[in-house]
Amino acid sequence: QVQLEERGGGLVQPGGSLRLSCAASGFLFNSYIMRWYRQGPGKERELVAGISDSGDNIYYAPSVKGRFRISRDNDRSMAYLQMNSLKPEDTAIYYCYTYVRGDRWGWGTQVTVAS
């Protein structure tokens, strides 16, 4: 059973940092891409960052490039999103995603950036 569980969200002031983690289980983690999406209030879900199975290929949305860093630990079946220089517009529910015989999503973790 494929499972993704996000952790690490919370309330942070503008300019602050958070590190999200995604614990994966039920599939061969090192063979699949991992992505982070987010959905802000009143907005559509958008791709934030993606990383290939080996970690060699990485994508960032232009809005987060230079501030966010995606990584993965294939030995631990974990994916991470380090978020720095956070802005109020980064406020959203952040979701971990992979494609294993279909779309697989975690339940999400709330990130709120406010002073």
Instruction: Convert the pLDDT of each residue in 37-78 to its tens digit.
Output: 999 999 999 999 999 999 999 999 999 999 999 999 999 999
Q: Residue 22 in contact with residue 95, Cβ under 8 Å?
A: no
What is the structure's pLDDT at 36? 98
